[in-house]
Structure 1
Amino acid sequence: MIKVALIGDSIFDNGAYVAAGGEVITHLKHELGGKGDAILVARDGAVVADVPKQLSALPDDVTHLAVSVGGNDALRNIDVLARPARSIAEALSTVADVRDDFLSAYAQMLDKVAELGIPTILCTIYDVQLPDPAQRRAANLALVVFNDSILREASSRKLPVVDLRVIFDEPDDYANAIEPSGRGAAKIASVINQISTEHEFRGSASLYSKQGKRT
């Protein structure tokens, strides 16, 4: 029997944005069926710095962790997109500073996760669906540097990754501009179930972009 703990933010703790039964945790419990159970430790609004506190609340019988965090860290830095710059180089330097800070924080968070010695699944940050096309385009481009940090750490630590950027491929996957709908939650749960029950965690890093699909 396995027990998956969902760690992070509202990508997992999406109950406030969907009808009853549309939560990621509900879908995951259904996916696991008789194979195991799942608990929700993630909290809406959480950032990378909140994860160690969530880890301290884990019960002793957890066998797998799924971590989805970073989107709110990105939102906290969204003002960078409106900051004036004298050149493209200066603008990129500002973005690089944000990337460096996030990469450091994300790596330190994963160090805390690694101390537990529990098989761990990471998630990328999916594209946001802001109503203004120009803002949406700029925000999703900026998210590339956050996702690059996540993928770098996953690769170096040989951790499997749920690539939400690819999995969320329909408007109906979103409850609003930045939260997963019941449909999106079902997709997340399906891939987490697959990884937690089938992935060889002692192997190399893998990127899961669809159920049954990995690279």
Structure 2
Amino acid sequence: MKRQAKPMTEKHVCLMGDSVFDNDGYIPGEPGVIEQMRRSVPQNWSAYKVAVDGDCIEDIPDQLENVPTHATDIVVSIGGNDLRKFRHLLTQAAQGSTLEDLIAAPLADFEIAYGWMLDTVAERGVPVRVCTIYTAIPFAEPEMRDHAPSAIGAFNALIMRLAENRGVPVVRLDLACRDDSDFSEISPIEPSSQGGQKIVDAILQSLGQG
């Protein structure tokens, strides 16, 4: 007698964070990340979005209030808007200042904020995954193209270290989205539909469905 396949564990995945997940307004006529997630998950899974375009690390507690009580997994992509506050420093880097020195203080502040965010989300008692910030953004400004990838890379290293210290898996969006076409034509810091599907695929792989 043929053995029946064991049914996959039911999961209810909640996406928290910013416009990486809440990108619908930047890809008119195409599916956003949450719709792509719902189309891609196994039949007995579900996906929800509490992410809000423009939100920063400090907004995560408000989002937590909207996480469904039956959520089994939380995926957080946050921090990109926090980094945008420091973009003026890249102009100084373009003028010859040392990038490492310029971002030292922002890195220290980010470490405190991101660590607090991880601990706050963990209090929910649901398995958590966090995402790195993609680095291949097709910025129009030369100073952003030249220096943003290295600066973001330093913050990503911090995200990965903080997550590892807490046993939190990391979804590497900086490896998933590498092409110009992975980003919205309306706003280069948001994922396109193509990039959104790559993000969904990376999440599902992290959840054991890749």
TM-score (norm 2): 0.87
Q: Does the 8 A contact of 1:66 with 1:122 survive in 2?
A: yes
Distance 1:21 1:42 in 2: 18
Matched position secondary structure for 1:34? coil
Q: CA RMSD in A?
A: 2.1
- Aligned identity (percent) is 36
Q: What is the one-letter code of the residue matched to 1:105? A: A
Q: What is the one-letter code of the residue matched to 2:169? A: P
Query: In the alignment, what sits opposite 2:44?
Result: 35
Q: Deviation of residue 58 (structure 1)?
A: 1.3
Matched position secondary structure for 2:178? coil
Q: Deviation of residue 84 (structure 1)?
A: 7.9
Query: In the alignment, what sits opposite 1:132?
Result: 141
Query: In the alignment, what sits opposite 1:157?
Result: 166
Structure 1 residue 123 corresponds to structure 2 residue 134: no
Structure 1 residue 58 corresponds to structure 2 residue 61: no
Q: Deviation of residue 105 (structure 1)?
A: 0.1
Matched position secondary structure for 1:35? coil
Deviations 1:168-190 (A, max 9, x none): 12211111321100011111112
Structure possessing the higher radius of gyration over alpha carbons: 2
Distance 1:86 1:79 in 2: 12
Distance 1:194 1:33 in 2: 12
Q: Deviation of residue 83 (structure 1)?
A: 4.0
Q: Does the 8 A contact of 2:94 with 2:143 survive in 1?
A: no
Distance 1:71 1:146 in 2: 10
Using a 3 Å threshold, how does the CA distance of structure 1 residues 84 and 16 change in structure 2: closer, same or farther?
closer
Distance 2:178 2:158 in 1: 22
Deviations 1:24-55 (A, max 9, x none): 00011111141311111000001111111101
Q: Does the 8 A contact of 2:22 with 2:32 survive in 1?
A: yes
Q: Deviation of residue 167 (structure 1)?
A: 0.8
Structure 1: any 5+ residue segments left out of the alignment? 200-211
Q: Deviation of residue 140 (structure 1)?
A: 1.6
TM-score (norm 1): 0.85
Between Structure 1 and Structure 2, the one with more helix by share is: 1
- Pick one of 188, 194, 199 that aligns with 1:177: 188
Q: Does the 8 A contact of 2:26 with 2:192 survive in 1?
A: yes
Q: Does the 8 A contact of 2:76 with 2:129 survive in 1?
A: yes
Q: What is the one-letter code of the residue matched to 1:157? A: R
Distance 1:108 1:195 in 2: 23
Q: Does the 8 A contact of 2:176 with 2:202 survive in 1?
A: no
Matched position secondary structure for 2:41? helix
Distance 1:124 1:60 in 2: 26
